[in-house]
Amino acid sequence: MSKTTQMFAYKNLRGIYDFDYDAEGKLQYCLEDPDQAIAQYAIFPPLKQDQKTTINLLPNLLNDGQLVIKAYNTANRWHAVRRSISNSRAENCWIYAKKLQDLGFSVADPVAFIQEYILGRLKGRSWYLYKFIDGRTWADYLRSGSDEPSQLQALEKIINTLNSLWDRSITHGDTKSSNILLSNDQILLLDLDVMKQHDNKRSAASAVNRDATRFLRDLKQDYPNLYEFSLEKLGRLGWTFASAYKSHQP
């Protein structure tokens, strides 16, 4: 852990938080009872809500900036058992946000992750807390009617970011256009729930292929010029997606 992070435990909740964001003690309240903090401080409606996750914006709990809490629900007891032998999605977000920061990538600053435990050992719900970043998703940017030269410039930055990840055998796992944020001339990847650094070339190649296929899917039908540019750019970088094998050494 870094010098500003600290583990915590309260009743059936465990986790890690960055105490630089808690100078006034407000964050501690959220760590000890995230449900109540959301009920009391969140702006409604949620930024996103479905059966698996809920994302809320809480404007008054950080010293500097707004707090986002992404809550991950547990479908059933079997789901809790499976999660108990691996990282929860909130924990995975925390781990890879920290890793990306260390590698020099732009990310939404990780604030904390909270893990609920059921019957002592089973992992229940989890929460990932991060600092809100203002910007537009790649999906919104495309729909905004921006001119094609600007789109191509942004697209090149996105591909360079993905390439830098893939060169390190790191894959995102869900590279749809709404998971890519453009903010102040920077590219940030959102939803690091299933991000993974692979320990062998075969696994990495297969996962890179899935990343690239998912990314290109959003361009192929509606933005053919951007799609062709992406294929050409990725080809120049050495990626061939029949096998997702990079033909040159990074």
Mean pLDDT of the 15-36 span: 90
Question: Tens digits of per-residue pLDDT, 57-110?
Answer: 999 888 788 999 999 987 655 554 555 566 899 999 999 999 999 999 999 999
Say whether both 11 and 126 belong to one domain: yes
Say whether both 207 and 145 belong to one domain: yes
Say whether both 188 and 76 belong to one domain: no
Rounded to 10 degrees, what is the CA torsion of 27, 30, 36, 38?
80
- Whichever domain contains 121, its CATH number is 3.30.200
Question: How large a percentage of the chain has pLDDT more than 90?
Answer: 73
pLDDT of residue 143: 93
Say whether both 114 and 182 belong to one domain: no
Say whether both 194 and 83 belong to one domain: no
Domain enclosing residue 72, as ranges: 5-131
**Of 67, 96, 131, which residue is a domain's last?**
131
Say whether both 127 and 140 belong to one domain: no
Say whether both 38 and 54 belong to one domain: yes
Say whether both 142 and 182 belong to one domain: yes
Q: What is the number of alpha carbons within 13 Å of residue 169 lying toward its C-beta? A: 9
Say whether both 114 and 153 belong to one domain: no
Q: Which helix (H) or strand (E) holds 223?
A: none
How high is the mean pLDDT of the chain? 89
Structural domain tally of the chain? 2
Token pair, residue 57, equals 């914006």
**Of 96, 131, 166, which residue is a domain's last?**
131
pLDDT of residue 247: 47
Say whether both 112 and 159 belong to one domain: no
Say whether both 89 and 200 belong to one domain: no
pLDDT-derived band of residue 33, with 50, 70 and 90 as boundaries?
very high
**Of 131, 149, 164, which residue is a domain's last?**
131
Say whether both 56 and 144 belong to one domain: no
DSSP string, 9-50: EETTEEEEEEGGG-TTSHHHHHHH-HHHHHHHH-EEEEEEE-
Rounded CA separation 137/155 (Å): 12
Question: Tens digits of per-residue pLDDT, 157-173?
Answer: 999 999 999 999 999 99
pLDDT-derived band of residue 243, with 50, 70 and 90 as boundaries?
very low
C-alpha 222: how far from chain center? 25
pLDDT-derived band of residue 180, with 50, 70 and 90 as boundaries?
very high
- Whichever domain contains 227, its CATH number is 1.10.510.10
Mean pLDDT is lowest, of 19-28, 49-58, 126-135, 160-169, for 19-28
pLDDT-derived band of residue 196, with 50, 70 and 90 as boundaries?
very high
